Amino acid sequence: MKKMLLLLLISVFTIPALAQDQFKQIIDERADEIEEQVIEWRRHFHENPELSNREFETAAYIADYLNELGLEVETEVAHTGVVALLEGGQPGPVIGLRADIDGLPVTERTDVPFKSEATGIYQGKEVGVMHACGHDTHIAMLMGVAKILTENKEQIKGTIKFIFQPAEEGAPQGEEGGAELMVKEGVLQNPEVDVIFGLHINDATPVGTLRYRSEGIMASVNSFSVEIKGKQAHGSAPWNGVDPIVTAAQIINNAQTIVSRNMELTKQAAVVTFGVIEGGVRHNIIPESVKMEGTIRALDEEMRQLIFKRFETIIQNTAESNGAEATLTIHDGYPITYNDPQLTEMMAPTLEEAADGNAVIMDAITGAEDFSFFQKEIPGFYFFIGGKAPDREAAGHHTPDFYIDESGMKLGVRTLSYLVVDYMNR
Give the catalytic positions in this structure: 334, 406
Cβ–Cβ contacts within 10 Å for residue 191, how many?
13
Adjacent-strand bridge partners of 11: none
What single string gives the DSSP state of each residue in 247-296? HHHHHHHHHHHIIIIIS-TTT--EEEEEEEEE--SSTTEE-SEEEEEEEE
Cβ–Cβ contacts within 10 Å for residue 320, how many?
12
Residue 186: its H or E element: none
Alpha-carbon 129 to chain mean position: 18
CA-nearest of 59, 23, 35, 36 to 163 is 59
CA-nearest of 232, 339, 250 to 289 is 232
* Strand pairing report for 195-206 and 380-388: parallel
User: 58-93 burial, b if ≥16 CB within 10 A, otherwise e?
Assistant: bbebbbebbeebebebbbebbbbbbbbbbebeeebb
CA dihedral 173, 177, 179, 180 (to 10 degrees): 80
Q: Which amino acid is at 124?
A: G
CA-nearest of 301, 228, 300 to 265 is 300
**Could you say which DSSP state residue 299 is in?**
S
> 77 vs 169, 254, 328, 347, CA distance in Å?
17, 44, 34, 29
* CA gap 199, 225 in Å, rounded: 31
- φ, ψ of residue 35 in degrees (nearest 5): -55, -45
* CA gap 305, 308 in Å, rounded: 5
